[in-house]
């Protein structure tokens, strides 16, 4: 973790410690007031305050205080639910308050400053891949492919070098040929697993029989690939596991009414390489979801105005947010409440105080699973780009954002020239290659915020937020030239290349999706009409 993040974390600790004595004092005053003049509302506020103290004090290293606040919190919860209080209960709470205050004064001297820096350092995405493979031709091809996607890989043929390397640097992924699974290497891999070392294992093999597949499973392999299949599928899967430079950093939206905790969590997640935005008012969530487009929501349960559970229920009823994973974060350790939270559409439940490494691991694993699942639903299976429906959905979202921020946006339709001829001359399989190549060129040429989709058979759509018509034309021309320079090979070794035509329309020239699409389509038609291999813009 960089020193800047550590500095900010330190500042949060100092600030928390500075305010804590006052906070304890205020809680005592609050309780004195309630004991003298009981109301249900005042009791709810008090319960919430103790609940907040319980979560935050644990996070900032006041463990004893957190434990004693938890005891008080559980007691208060029952009273809030009963909506009445007896004299004995008042006495008991006074006793628990005194106990907690005493513990605070005794334990604050010995507070442990959690070591955050080192724990998080190892949580960054690991882009190193070890390949265990004897077939030099295959491994060099694989290495090249992975390299083009931003991964470093090292090829091993010998177990000695491999076990030495593993001791020095852990890779993010190991790709092993099934030929190795009978020998010593297997033991090394099993040891990794037994030590709970988070390295994913992929198995590649020349044989797809059940015995080989079982061997792979027993070695802990997460996926199995036939070497005769195209490398495309393997590298795609690698990318899904390791998240490449092309795919966006994980975006997490935190909703927690405590400023200090929300900031603390965001620093931890940022240090682990994620993009984070937090809000402290749950009523701002829809706006934040729209503007920030998170891949995961970290939701505190107890908040004034609207609880995390209610918020989750609302989001689950809205189809555009139904797929977003939710991780609940709360001091709630009541199993039934947790189950209710999961029932309401939560994907996981973390109990405060959460250790930084648990927070990062939970967020990452939930987000990864959701993105694999949703990629099956939202992505085109041949190219991995957005599918037709999703292009339309995203265009809608981006347009409304552009209009709110008074910004520009371009929509681009791309259609491959004479593609029917490519299929007829070289075959459908070669045609599919061309489609995948175009999607690859698109993905590598676009910015993180741009969106590319397969609009139809050999038609592609690109959404370019924050882009003027002139810039879009320039970008399109660059992509077009790059694509037309790609050389394809037929099965009998013949070389050929392919071009495309494109139509562009811009917001605010056209202000709704329907007109934007229609105008881009018209421009495309014009480009075809004028001789293909060109881009046109429709100005109305
Ligand atoms: P133009 O330059 O006017 O666009 O001519 P074209 O031949 O590209 O246009 P047309 O719309 O007549 O043909 C599109 C072809 O795209 C027909 C169809 O077989 C092919 N196609 C559509 N989807 C796929 C696919 O998934 N794989 C392959 N290989 N071909 C596809
Ligand atoms: Mg077409
Ligand atoms: Mg075409």
Q: Please tell me which residue, 115 or 410, carries the higher pLDDT value.
A: 410
Residue 113 has pLDDT above 60, yes or no: no
Average pLDDT, stretch 103-121?
60
Which among 102-106, 215-219, 286-290 has the top mean pLDDT?
A: 286-290
Contacts of 482 (CB under 8 A, 6+ apart): 441, 445
pLDDT at 247: 40
Ligand nearest to the CA of 525: 1
- CB under 8 A, 24+ apart: contacts of 9-15: 9/116, 9/264, 9/267, 12/60, 12/260, 12/263, 12/264, 12/267, 13/60, 13/61, 13/113, 15/260
Pick from 382, 417, 423 the residue to mutate for probing ligand 1's pocket: most ligand atoms within 8 Å of its CB: 423
pTM assigned to the model = 0.51
Atom number, ligand 1, closest to the C-alpha of residue 431: 29
Residue 118 has pLDDT above 60, yes or no: no
Q: Please tell me which residue, 389 or 116, carries the higher pLDDT value.
A: 389
Q: Calculate the average pLDDT of the chain.
A: 85
Ligand nearest to the CA of 381: 1
**Tally of helices (H runs) and strands (E runs) in the chain:** 20, 17
Query: What confidence category does residue 530 fall into, taking pLDDT thresholds of 50, 70 and 90?
Result: very high
pLDDT at 121: 45
d(CA 331, ligand 1 centre) in Å: 57
Contacts of 88 (CB under 8 A, 6+ apart): none
d(CA 510, ligand 2 centre) in Å: 23
d(CA 382, ligand 1 centre) in Å: 14
Q: Please tell me which residue, 400 or 535, carries the higher pLDDT value.
A: 535
Of all protein residues, the one whose alpha carbon is nearest to atom 25 of ligand 1 is 457
Strands 459-465 and 451-454: antiparallel
Residue 321 has pLDDT above 90, yes or no: no
Atom number, ligand 1, closest to the C-alpha of residue 428: 29
Atom number, ligand 1, closest to the C-alpha of residue 430: 29
Q: Please tell me which residue, 378 or 498, carries the higher pLDDT value.
A: 498
434-483 confidence digits (pLDDT tens): 999 999 999 889 987 899 999 989 999 999 999 999 999 999 999 999 99
What is each CA distance from 43 to 68, 90, 210, 282, 529, in whole angstroms?
Answer: 18, 11, 63, 22, 74
Of all protein residues, the one whose alpha carbon is nearest to atom 14 of ligand 1 is 420
pLDDT at 240: 66
Query: Taking Cα atoms as reference points, which of 327, 329, 331, 522 lies closest to residue 415?
Result: 522
Q: In whole angstroms, give the CA distance from residue 389 to residue 277.
A: 28
Pick from 419, 431, 498, 500 the residue to mutate for probing ligand 1's pocket: most ligand atoms within 8 Å of its CB: 419
Average pLDDT, stretch 284-312?
88
388-537 folds as: Alpha-Beta Plaits (3.30.70)
Q: Please tell me which residue, 191 or 291, carries the higher pLDDT value.
A: 291
Residue 179 has pLDDT above 60, yes or no: yes
Give residue limits of the domains in the chain.
3-110, 128-247, 251-378, 388-537
Q: Check if 251-378 and 388-537 are the same fold.
A: no
- DSSP 3-state of 359: helix
Query: What confidence category does residue 357 fall into, taking pLDDT thresholds of 50, 70 and 90?
Result: confident
pLDDT at 455: 92
Q: Tell which CATH architecture fits domain 3-110.
A: Up-down Bundle (1.20)
| CATH superfamily for domain 128-247 | Response regulator (3.40.50.2300)
pLDDT at 497: 96
Q: In whole angstroms, give the CA distance from residue 25 to residue 361.
A: 36
251-378 folds as: Rossmann fold (3.40.50)
Residue 413 has pLDDT above 60, yes or no: yes
Q: If you count them, how many residues does the chain have? A: 540
Query: What confidence category does residue 256 fall into, taking pLDDT thresholds of 50, 70 and 90?
Result: very high
Of all protein residues, the one whose alpha carbon is nearest to atom 24 of ligand 1 is 457
d(CA 455, ligand 1 centre) in Å: 12
């Amino acid at each position: 973790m960089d020193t800047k993040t550590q500095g900010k974390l330190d500042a949060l600790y100092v600030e928390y410690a500075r305010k804590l004595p006052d906070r304890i004092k205020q809680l005592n005053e609050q309780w004195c007031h309630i004991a003298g003049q009981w109301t249900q509302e005042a009791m709810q506020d008090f319960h919430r305050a103790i609940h907040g103290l319980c979560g935050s004090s644990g996070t900032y290293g006041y463990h004893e205080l957190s434990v004693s606040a938890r005891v008080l919190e559980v007691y208060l919860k029952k009273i809030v639910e009963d909506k009445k209080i007896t004299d004995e209960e008042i006495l008991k709470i006074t006793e628990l308050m005194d106990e907690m205050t005493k513990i605070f004064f005794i334990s604050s001297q010995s507070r442990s400053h959690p070591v955050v820096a080192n724990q998080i350092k190892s949580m960054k995405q690991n882009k190193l891949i070890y390949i265990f493979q004897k077939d030099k031709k295959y491994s060099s091809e694989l290495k090249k492919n992975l390299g083009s996607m931003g991964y470093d890989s090292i090829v091993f043929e010998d177990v000695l070098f491999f076990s030495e390397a593993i001791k020095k640097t852990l890779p993010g992924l190991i790709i092993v040929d099934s030929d190795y699974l009978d020998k010593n290497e297997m033991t090394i891999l099993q040891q990794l697993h037994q030590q709970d070392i988070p390295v994913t294992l992929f198995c590649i093999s020349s044989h797809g029989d059940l015995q080989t597949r079982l061997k792979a499973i027993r070695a802990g392999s997460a996926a199995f690939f036939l070497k005769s299949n195209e490398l495309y599928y393997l590298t795609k899967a690698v990318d899904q596991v390791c998240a490449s430079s092309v795919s966006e950093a994980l975006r997490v939206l935190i909703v927690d009414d405590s400023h200090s905790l929300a900031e603390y969590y965001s620093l931890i997640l940022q240090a682990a390489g994620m993009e984070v935005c937090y809000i402290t008012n749950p009523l701002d969530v829809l706006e934040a979801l729209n503007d920030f487009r998170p891949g995961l929501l970290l939701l505190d349960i107890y908040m004034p105005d609207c609880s995390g559970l209610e918020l989750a229920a609302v989001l689950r009823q809205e189809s555009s947010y139904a797929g977003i994973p939710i991780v609940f974060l709360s001091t709630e350790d009541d199993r039934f409440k947790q189950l209710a939270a999961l029932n309401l559409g939560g994907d996981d439940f973390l109990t405060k105080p959460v250790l930084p490494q648990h927070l990062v691991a939970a967020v990452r694993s939930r987000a990864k699973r959701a993105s694999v699942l949703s990629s099956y639903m939202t992505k085109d299976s041949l190219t991995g780009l957005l599918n037709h429906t999703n292009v339309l959905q995203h265009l809608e979202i981006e347009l409304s954002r552009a209009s709110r921020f008074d910004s520009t946006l371009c929509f681009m339709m791309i259609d491959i020239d004479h593609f029917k001829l490519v299929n007829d001359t070289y075959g459908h399989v070669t045609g599919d290659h061309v489609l995948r190549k175009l999607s690859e060129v698109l993905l590598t040429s676009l910015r993180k915020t741009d969106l590319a989709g397969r609009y139809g058979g050999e038609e592609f759509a690109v959404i370019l937020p924050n882009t003027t018509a002139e810039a879009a034309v320039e970008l399109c021309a660059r992509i077009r030239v790059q694509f037309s320079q790609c050389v394809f090979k037929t099965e009998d070794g013949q070389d050929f290349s392919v071009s495309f035509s494109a139509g562009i329309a811009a917001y605010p020239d056209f202000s709704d999706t329907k007109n934007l699409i229609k105008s881009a389509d018209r421009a495309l038609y014009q480009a075809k009409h004028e001789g293909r291999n060109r881009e046109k813009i429709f100005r109305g």
